[in-house]
């Protein structure tokens, strides 16, 4: 069933009103007609099963048949703090991070970042592009919310923000042993907010790692191989997603 996101203001009583690009996609791309079923999400954890009622000018009016709480979100909040990479790598990272369950993506300007967003207009244009990709990925993967792509911030700003919200994990190629990684991942899967810091192509500067450690970050290893910036964050998110899903399935089975 086709799935679309709406703002809460578009839901009025037992009707939902779609406008803009979604209407064009429904009518001219999917070629849907009055009476067909469609799934709507309010981006805040509620899904609606609807039937297309009418296509007034530049609108689609949907009738709500039933609603339910979205059950696809992870039981923890994972925030990816991604050191700004070159080229269009950030687009891939945003897309896949959303598919893997990230609640938010924060672009971080690190000491070794080659990309510099000094022009505020260009910065906002890029962020709008990343947010559009996040919404598309949320639709495709059946998410119950659209993760936000935050405005880029400096490394020190990012560490301060992350430390105030929960635990912080920073994978680093010079970290040794997998036992601390395992313990940190298990702790992250048990609940709360976990920030995942990933460096740009050149990695983190040692001073940045020290700053993060002083703020309480767990410096962990991802194994003996050095991963590219576009791979490292997705590897961490994949591992945490599976840990969370398995833990939740075990609790459900025990309760049953």
- Tens digits of residue pLDDT in 65-106: 999 987 788 989 999 999 999 888 999 999 999 999 999 999
- Residue 109: what pLDDT? 95
The single-letter DSSP state of residue 86 is S
More confident residue, 62 or 144: 62
Q: Per-residue pLDDT for 49 more than 80?
A: yes
- Residue 69: what pLDDT? 84
Task: Compute the average pLDDT of residues 219-238.
Answer: 95
The single-letter DSSP state of residue 133 is H
Strand partners, 15: 12, 63
Cα 174 to Cα 158: distance, rounded to the nearest angstrom = 21
Centre a 10 Å sphere on the Cβ of residue 119 and count the other Cβ atoms it contains: 10
Task: Compute the average pLDDT of residues 39-58.
Answer: 91
- Residue 27: what pLDDT? 92
Lowest mean pLDDT of 41-45, 173-177, 245-249, name the range.
245-249
Confidence of residue 243 (pLDDT cuts 50, 70, 90): very high
Lowest mean pLDDT of 61-70, 113-122, 161-170, 201-210, name the range.
113-122
- Residue 219: what pLDDT? 96
Cα 33 to Cα 223: distance, rounded to the nearest angstrom = 52
- Residue 153: what pLDDT? 95
Q: Per-residue pLDDT for 26 more than 60?
A: yes
Q: Per-residue pLDDT for 253 more than 60?
A: no
Return mean pLDDT, the chain: 92
- Residue 256: what pLDDT? 59
Q: Per-residue pLDDT for 232 more than 70?
A: yes
Rounded to 5°, the CA angle 248-185-81 comes to: 105
Contact of 67 with 90, CB cutoff 8 Å: no
- Residue 251: what pLDDT? 61
Percent of the chain with pLDDT over 90: 74
In whole angstroms, how far apart are CA 233 and each of 34, 100, 238? 43, 10, 9
Percent of the chain with pLDDT over 70: 96
Q: Per-residue pLDDT for 178 more than 80?
A: yes
């Amino acid at each position: 069933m086709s799935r679309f996101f709406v703002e809460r203001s578009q839901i009025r009583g037992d009707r939902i009103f779609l406008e803009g690009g979604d209407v064009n996609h429904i009518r001219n791309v999917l070629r849907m007609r009055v009476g067909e079923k469609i799934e709507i999400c309010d981006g805040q954890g509620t899904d609606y099963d609807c039937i297309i009622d009418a296509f007034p000018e530049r609108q689609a009016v949907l009738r709500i048949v039933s609603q339910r709480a979205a059950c696809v979100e992870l039981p923890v909040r994972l925030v990816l703090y991604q050191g700004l990479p070159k080229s269009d790598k950030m687009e891939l990272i945003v897309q896949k991070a959303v598919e893997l369950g990230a609640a938010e993506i924060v672009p971080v300007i690190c000491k070794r970042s080659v990309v510099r967003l000094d022009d505020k207009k260009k910065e906002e244009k890029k962020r709008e592009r990343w947010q559009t990709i996040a919404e598309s990925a949320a639709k495709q993967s059946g998410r119950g919310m659209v993760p936000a792509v935050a405005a880029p911030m400096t490394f020190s700003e990012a560490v301060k923000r992350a430390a105030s919200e929960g635990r912080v994990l920073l994978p680093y190629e010079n970290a040794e042993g997998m036992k601390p990684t395992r313990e940190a991942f298990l702790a992250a899967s048990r609940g709360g907010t976990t920030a995942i810091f990933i460096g740009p192509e050149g990695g983190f500067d040692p001073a940045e790692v020290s700053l993060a450690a002083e703020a309480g970050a767990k410096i962990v290893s991802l194994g003996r191989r050095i991963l590219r910036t576009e791979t490292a964050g997705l590897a961490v998110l994949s591992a945490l997603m599976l840990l969370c899903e398995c833990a939740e399935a075990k609790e459900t089975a025990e309760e049953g």
